[in-house]
């Protein structure tokens, strides 16, 4: 049994990371705009991204493991519940 991740695992995690960073940018832009500090968003958003980047990378891999893999390998995780023969 191999415990190494598949090559596509890290590509999928990059897409999750991209989605998390876009969500962070949009939410911080809304917060800065509502506070009337949108001029400071030019510095605040990149600083927040750099500070949260390790967390974003970790959560993107976790999302890949816990959301995508059970959908890809449903029969391996949950068995054949359809009554079909293998």
What was the pLDDT predicted at 85? 55
10 within 8 A of 58, measured Cβ to Cβ: no
What was the pLDDT predicted at 86? 52
Q: What is the pLDDT along the chain (86 residues), one digit of tens a residue?
A: 666 767 778 888 899 999 999 999 999 999 999 999 989 999 999 999 999 999 999 999 898 888 877 777 777 666 766 555 55
What whole-number distance in Å separates Cα of residue 32 and Cα of residue 82? 51
Domain residue ranges in the chain: 27-74
pTM of the predicted model as reported, rounded to 2 decimal places: 0.75
């Amino acid at each position: 049994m191999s415990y190494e991740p598949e090559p596509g695992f890290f590509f999928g995690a990059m897409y999750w990371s991209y989605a998390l960073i876009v969500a962070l940018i949009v939410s911080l832009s809304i917060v800065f705009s509502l506070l009337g500090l949108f001029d400071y968003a030019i510095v605040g958003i990149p600083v927040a991204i750099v500070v949260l980047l390790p967390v974003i990378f970790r959560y993107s891999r976790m999302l890949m493991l816990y959301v995508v893999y059970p959908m890809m390998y449903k029969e391996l995780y949950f068995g054949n519940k359809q009554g079909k023969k293998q």
